[in-house]
Amino acid sequence: MGTVGKTLLILSGGVEAIKGIEIAKAMGLKVVVVDGNPDAPGRVLADAFIEANIYDPSAVVRMIAAYEGREKVDGVITVASDAVRSVAAVAEFLGLPGISKETAFLSTEKFEMKLRFEESSIPVPGFVSIGSIDELIANVGRWPKAVLKPVDSRGARGVVRIGAEDDLQWAYAYSCGFSPSKRLILEEWIEGPQLSTESLVVDGKTYLCGVADRNYSRLPEAYPYVIEDGGETPSRFSPMIDEQLTKLLDSAANALGIESGVLKGDIVLNEAEGNAPYIIEVATRLSGGFFSTITIPLVYEINIVERAILLSLGQLPPLPERLTPICFQANRFLFLPPGTVANVCGPETDQLPEYVKYFELNAAVGDVVPNIENHTMRRGSVLVNAETRGEAVTRAESIITSIEVEVEDRAPLVQ
Ligand SMILES: Nc1ncnc2c1ncn2[C@@H]1O[C@H](COP(=O)(O)OP(=O)(O)O)[C@@H](O)[C@H]1O
Ligand SMILES: [Mg+2]
């Protein structure tokens, strides 16, 4: 069948999507990037660009309907964004392979998703829908520890741990502030190690392509927020847990009606039940945070982005039977205390060791740093590999700690 000369729509032209655009180009595809930002960094790599807010499915479809090359489009995908509702809407409009709009909705609405999982007897934390402060007050005592979150946000934005003794009015308003629909979900907080998974789905069956440990060492000091500080791949529970995870993810794909595509999983191993895996949520898209674009190819030699693109074109990619890691990856984030940046001194990027596969530092003198509420508020990150897990962690942590940033605890001077 081949890919040369075919046309692929990629929703998102952001920094993390660049790798995806490059991979598509290397496959000989003509790439049309869709992004709401006319200055999206991926635009220059694309063959064509369509300006549309990728989180507004009808706006995207409208723009595609007006795009004269639409008849030639062979596939649609998103890289490094959560715009799966738009992907499904475009796939339906142009008659392309992809998940249905119903599946896209279920996979981006945390309450509806959990209802489906519960109906299919998939282990999920206890949950209840919250549509008002009174419902929160009435339900907060259901579990010893709970977490409140928008049904329709991402990146841990608006996610807060909560107990009956906390300021419920504040938590409700805070979480609602991140929810376009102003609907929240309250869940039982499950204690235990947290994992990320990424799979390809073919004929409703999932094929695991990566399992990572998420690092939540900052959790106690970050209360009530949930701050992830990178992680390590492969997970220390893999490969022992791989078969169990695959079964769980097969049921999740089935419950949401996913025939073909990608499935990203947020999993917690329930300590109280001998580390039994529970699903926190899944997403029907490739992961961000460079897991799909850097870590999975680095650790498992699986070009998952290329394989996901093949699926989006209706072609069958190679499917891994089991995971065979060739190295360890670790990543860590730079979080700054609140205040004003007075001085920044980081490593020279061209002098970083070869084992550093990604590095970024976004802090400049005069920047005002707010209190950290989720991992998207990080000011830098590093991703490394090594022959052992311990070495990878040491390397990542030492690069982060080598960054010297002075933050003055005061508001900026107003001239
Ligand atoms: N019920 C829960 N038990 C334990 N941890 C949870 C629970 N719900 C959310 N979390 C933590 O909060 C993070 C963000 O929540 P999630 O539901 O994945 O929202 P988002 O769409 O913002 O990623 C999760 O990755 C997990 O670490
Ligand atoms: Mg999540």
92-143 pLDDT tens trace: 999 999 999 999 999 999 999 999 999 999 999 999 999 999 999 999 999 9
User: Considering only CA atoms, which of 279, 289, 320, 315 is closest in space to residue 303?
Assistant: 320
Domain assignment present for residue 150? The answer is yes
Domain residue limits at 396: 330-408
Domain boundary among 301, 326, 351: 326
Mutate to test the pocket of ligand 1, among 109, 145, 149, 191 (most ligand atoms within 8 A of CB): 149
- Give yes or no for a contact between 358 and 298, defined as CB atoms under 8 angstroms apart: no
| Ligand 1 center from residue 343 Cα (angstroms) | 34
- Same domain, yes or no, for 338 and 389? yes
Integer CA distances (angstroms), 377 to 39, 58, 362, in order: 22, 30, 10
Question: Is residue 410 scored above 90 in pLDDT?
Answer: no
Confidence class of residue 288 from pLDDT cuts 50, 70 and 90?
confident
- Tens of pLDDT, residues 236-257: 999 999 999 999 999 999 999 9
Q: Report whether residue 224 contacts ligand 1, using a CB cutoff of 6 Å.
A: no
- Same domain, yes or no, for 171 and 196? no
- Same domain, yes or no, for 179 and 206? no
Confidence class of residue 415 from pLDDT cuts 50, 70 and 90?
very low
- Same domain, yes or no, for 138 and 265? no
Domain assignment present for residue 121? The answer is no
Q: Which atom from ligand 1 is nearest to the alpha carbon of 110?
A: 17
| Ligand 2 center from residue 272 Cα (angstroms) | 21
- Same domain, yes or no, for 399 and 305? no
- Same domain, yes or no, for 230 and 252? yes
Q: Which atom from ligand 1 is nearest to the alpha carbon of 157?
A: 22
Domain boundary among 326, 347, 376: 326
Report the 10 Å Cβ neighbour count for 157: 18
Ligand closest to the CA atom of residue 154: 1
Domain assignment present for residue 119? The answer is no
- Same domain, yes or no, for 201 and 302? yes
Q: Report whether residue 212 contacts ligand 1, using a CB cutoff of 6 Å.
A: no
| Ligand 1 center from residue 376 Cα (angstroms) | 14
Q: Report whether residue 160 contacts ligand 1, using a CB cutoff of 6 Å.
A: no
Integer CA distances (angstroms), 101 to 54, 142, 383, in order: 15, 33, 35
- Give yes or no for a contact between 318 and 380, defined as CB atoms under 8 angstroms apart: no
- Phi and psi at residue 383, to the nearest 5°: -135, 125
Read off the CATH number of the domain in which 25 is found.
Answer: 3.40.50.20
> What residues sit around ligand 2, an ion, with C-beta below 5 angstroms?
266
Q: For residue 124, what are the contacts with CB-CB under 8 A and spacing of at least 6?
A: 114, 117, 118, 278, 279, 280
Angle at 12 between CA 10 and CA 15, to 5 degrees: 120
Read off the CATH number of the domain in which 358 is found.
Answer: 3.30.470.20
| Ligand 1 center from residue 280 Cα (angstroms) | 6
- Same domain, yes or no, for 215 and 312? yes
Output the pTM of the full model: 0.95
Ligand closest to the CA atom of residue 113: 1
- Same domain, yes or no, for 243 and 369? no
Burial of residue 38 (number of CB atoms within 10 Å: 0-12, 13-18, 19+): exposed
Domain assignment present for residue 107? The answer is no
Residues 38 and 293: their CA atoms lie apart, in Å, by 23
- Tens of pLDDT, residues 131-166: 999 999 999 999 999 999 999 998 899 999 999 999
- Give yes or no for a contact between 380 and 360, defined as CB atoms under 8 angstroms apart: yes
Domain assignment present for residue 77? The answer is yes
Tell me how far apart the terminal alpha carbons of the chain are, to the nearest angstrom.
Answer: 64
Evaluate the CA torsion angle 252, 256, 262, 263 in order and state its sign: negative
**What is the residue-averaged pLDDT of the chain?**
96
Q: Report whether residue 189 contacts ligand 1, using a CB cutoff of 6 Å.
A: yes
Provide mean pLDDT across the span 221-233.
Answer: 96
Q: Looking at residue 16, what is its pLDDT?
A: 87
| Ligand 2 center from residue 242 Cα (angstroms) | 20
Residues 268 and 365: their CA atoms lie apart, in Å, by 39
| Ligand 2 center from residue 228 Cα (angstroms) | 11
- Tens of pLDDT, residues 292-329: 999 999 999 999 999 999 999 999 999 999 999 999 99
Angle at 210 between CA 91 and CA 277, to 5 degrees: 100
Domain assignment present for residue 414? The answer is no
Structure tokens, 203: 């004929």
Angle between helices 304-312 and 18-26 (to 10 degrees): 70
Domain assignment present for residue 415? The answer is no
Domain assignment present for residue 115? The answer is no
| Ligand 1 center from residue 14 Cα (angstroms) | 24
What's the structural domain count of the chain?
4
Q: Looking at residue 411, what is its pLDDT?
A: 58
Percent of the chain topping pLDDT 70: 99
Confidence class of residue 413 from pLDDT cuts 50, 70 and 90?
low
Question: Is residue 1 scored above 80 in pLDDT?
Answer: no
- Same domain, yes or no, for 215 and 291? yes
What is the residue whose two structure tokens read 């107990």? 163
Q: Report whether residue 187 contacts ligand 1, using a CB cutoff of 6 Å.
A: yes
- Same domain, yes or no, for 280 and 334? no
Report the 10 Å Cβ neighbour count for 152: 22
Domain boundary among 310, 326, 342: 326
Q: Looking at residue 388, what is its pLDDT?
A: 98
- Same domain, yes or no, for 238 and 148? no
- Tens of pLDDT, residues 351-396: 999 999 999 999 999 999 999 999 999 999 999 999 999 999 999 9
